[in-house]
Structure 1
Amino acid sequence: MKSQLPVAVLALAAFSTSVSAQGISSPMRPSAAASATAMPLVDGEVRKVDLEQGLIVLRHGDIPNLAMPAMTMGFDVADRKMLAGLKVGDKVRFQAEMLKGKATVTELVVGK
């Protein structure tokens, strides 16, 4: 039995290397470009802007990638520069993601 163990281990190692080389052992992850195109821009209306805190309150439609229904809520922004020139009542289209456990606007287009 002891003489068969090394042979079995080598055979198993060869098989697992072969399977890994074919990419069967791990699922494919979408590329960054594919992920970005999968997240739609969502319609929203600015309800409040807080430049100091880097926050925006939006009344928004459904956000499919976050499984979030339409509501009014506050978001962090990935870049405070996105808030420059925004005012209450502006119509926007935006993309949001969960970053560091917080709903965060990562893209913002005004007037669309």
Structure 2
Amino acid sequence: MKTRIRQLILLASLTGAAVAAWAQAPTTEGEVRKIDPAQQKITLKHGEIKNLDMPPMTMAFRMKDAALLSQFAVGDRVRFTVEKVDGAYTVTQIQKAN
């Protein structure tokens, strides 16, 4: 019983740390250049992506939630977060910039 409780406490602690790290992932500003719903990708002209040590460029990214693609149009200014998920650069958060 005590071992199970320790395991649950450890799991909760690790989950909390992962959420905190994700919440602190830096956002990047960019501009939508292309939307490809069939491939679940968005092409962005972006500034430096610090957490990936990536210089400014234009490239296509996989979307974590492809349903979000319908909220954007070519030319929209956006703020987004990219992480490497299963070996692919993936937009994990995105919103229109003010």
In angstroms, what is the RMSD of aligned CA positions?
A: 1.7
The yes-or-no answer on 1:39 pairing with 2:25 is yes
How far did residue 63 of structure 1 move? 0.6
Q: Counterpart of 2:71 in 1: which secondary structure?
A: coil
Deviations 1:46-72 (A, max 9, x none): 000001110000000111111111100
Question: Hey, what's the Cα distance between the residues in 1 that align with 2:38 and 2:97?
Answer: 23
Cα distance in 1, alignment partners of residues 24 and 97 from structure 2: 22
In the superposition, the TM-score normalised over structure 2's length comes to 0.79
- Unmatched tracts of structure 2, length 5 or more: 1-13
Higher relative contact order structure (alpha carbons within 8 Å, sequence separation ≥ 6): 2
How far residue 85 of structure 1 moved from its aligned partner, in angstroms, is 2.8
What residue in structure 2 maps to residue 104 of structure 1? 90
Larger radius of gyration: 1
Letter in 2 for 1:47: R
Runs of 4+ in 1 over 4 A off after TM superposition: none
- Report the equivalent of 1:58: 44
> How big is each residue's C-alpha offset from its partner over 1:67-109, in whole Å with a ceiling of 9 and x where there is no partner?
1111000000001111013111000000000011110000001
Gapped regions of structure 1 (runs ≥ 5): 1-28
What is the count of residue pairs matched by the alignment?
85
Please name the residue that 2:54 is paired with. Answer: 68
Percent identical residues: 43
| Higher strand content, 1 or 2 | 2
